[in-house]
Amino acid sequence: MNEILQQPVTWANLPDGTPLSFARIVCRSRSAGPHVVFIGGVHGDEFEGPLALTDLAHRLAGLPLRGQVTILPFVNAPALWAGTRIGPLDGVNLARIFPGQPGGTMSHRLAQSVWKVVSEAEALVDCHSGGVEMCFAPVAGFYGAGRDITSQTAGRSLEMARATGLPFLWHLPATPGVLSHEAAAAGIAVTGCEIGGRGAARAGDISLYLDAFLRVLSHLGVIDSSAAPPIAAPQRRLAGDWQIAPASGLFRTLMPLGVDVARGTPCARIETTEGTVLAELCAPHNGVILAERNLARVREGDLAVFVAEVTE
């Protein structure tokens, strides 16, 4: 039988003494195997991955395991209940400050507590979505070898991303402070995934995430291959990053999420309330619309549209 433990992690106290904590679910067996950490809820307005992680915990209770699976479904509780991407206690984006700083703000203390759990793992699955303001096609991210990431870790991470079975594989930009980047730099195999958004928790997106989790665990030898669904479609390898809104106004998408576009294709517009076009965002190259803004109100400097270039 697997041992399923609920181990809340207290990371700070409010001035009135109220403890702040996040849930840690540990699923382990007596059979030797890797330690894999799944994490969700770094941003408080992302729900698909965290809900799929609670489903994963229930699923693992009835499956033979080798090794240990640690699940942190909703790590940023203050942001979750505020419904924000940033921490409401200090206005800090948790996703940019790992592994935290001693004596830092509340979010830095949270980052340190999360990092302590992650640093003990051999593999990490970091779950995100577009949140309220954006939406992503299903994608598994990986890092290439570079100054901080060895070729061995990069290769293991790419194989993990492939193992998710998600249709798109994104060569992630190396961004210090991002949890998956810091983990890869520490020699931990990682994949950073994005599915859905729009402030929703659609059943289909949650199901995609759960299937991806099971495939990764099968790939790593934690569960039998018979417990994971087969990969249903070919995968495409992509690179690139977001285009930034050059003006403030109303955002109008012109192309559906996930479609192929040619260089120069108009993908979105920014307009005034009277319908005057302030800016048109065109595909900078042939590629796929991997993500786009969902919220129609846009400010100059916001993320607008992401046309990813196909590299494989």
Instruction: Identify any residues that bridge with 28 across adjacent strands, giving them in sequence order.
Output: 3, 68
Q: Locate the domains of the chain by residue range.
A: 3-236, 240-310
Per-residue pLDDT of 247-304, as tens digits, reads 999 999 999 999 999 999 999 999 999 999 999 999 999 999 999 999 999 999 999 9
Which pLDDT score is estimated for 98? 98
Q: What is the pLDDT of residues 178-204, one digit of tens each?
A: 999 999 999 999 999 999 999 999 999
What pairing do the DSSP bridges indicate for beta strands 123-128 and 168-171?
Answer: unpaired
User: Residue 101's pLDDT is what?
Assistant: 87
Kindly give, in sequence order, each residue whose CB lies less than 8 Å from that of residue 274, ignoring residues fewer than 6 positions away: none
Residue 7 pLDDT exceeds 80: yes
Mean pLDDT confidence for 29-38: 94
CA neighbor of 124 nearest in space, from 146, 153, 148? 153
Taking phi over 0 as left and psi of -120 to 50 as alpha, with beta for the rest, 177 belongs to left
pLDDT of 30 reads 85
Q: Is pLDDT above 80 for 170?
A: yes
CA dihedral 175, 179, 182, 186 (to 10 degrees): -160
Residue 196's closest CA among 94, 269, 127? 127
- The DSSP annotation for 135-202 comes to EEEEEEEE----SSS-HHHHHHHHHHHHHT--SEEEE----TT-HHHHHHHTT-EEEEEEEEETT---
Second CATH level (architecture) for the domain 240-310: Beta Barrel (2.40)
> Encoding tokens for residue 211?
């299937």
Q: Express each pLDDT in 116-158 by its tens digit.
A: 999 999 999 999 999 999 999 999 999 999 989 999 999 999 9
CATH topology of domain 3-236: Aminopeptidase (3.40.630)
Lowest mean pLDDT among 3-12, 88-97, 287-296: 3-12
Q: State the DSSP string of the chain.
A: --EEEE--EEEEE-TTS-EEEE--EEEE-SS---EEEEE--SSTT--HHHHHHHHHHHHHTTS--SSEEEEES---HHHHHHT-SS-TTT---GGGSTT--TT--HHHHHHHHHHHHHTT-SEEEEEE--TTTEEEEEEEEE----SSS-HHHHHHHHHHHHHT--SEEEE----TT-HHHHHHHTT-EEEEEEEEETT---HHHHHHHHHHHHHHHHHTTSS-GGGSPPP-S--EEEE--PEEPSS-EEEEE-S-TT-EE-TT-EEEEEE-TT--EEEEEE-SSSEEEEEEE-SSEE-TTSEEEEEEEE--
Q: Give the pLDDT confidence of 64-91 residue by residue, as tens digits.
A: 999 999 999 999 999 999 999 999 999 9
Segment 19-40 mean pLDDT:
95
Which among 231, 254, 218 has a CA at the least distance from the CA of 125? 218
Res. 1 pLDDT band, cuts 50 70 90: low
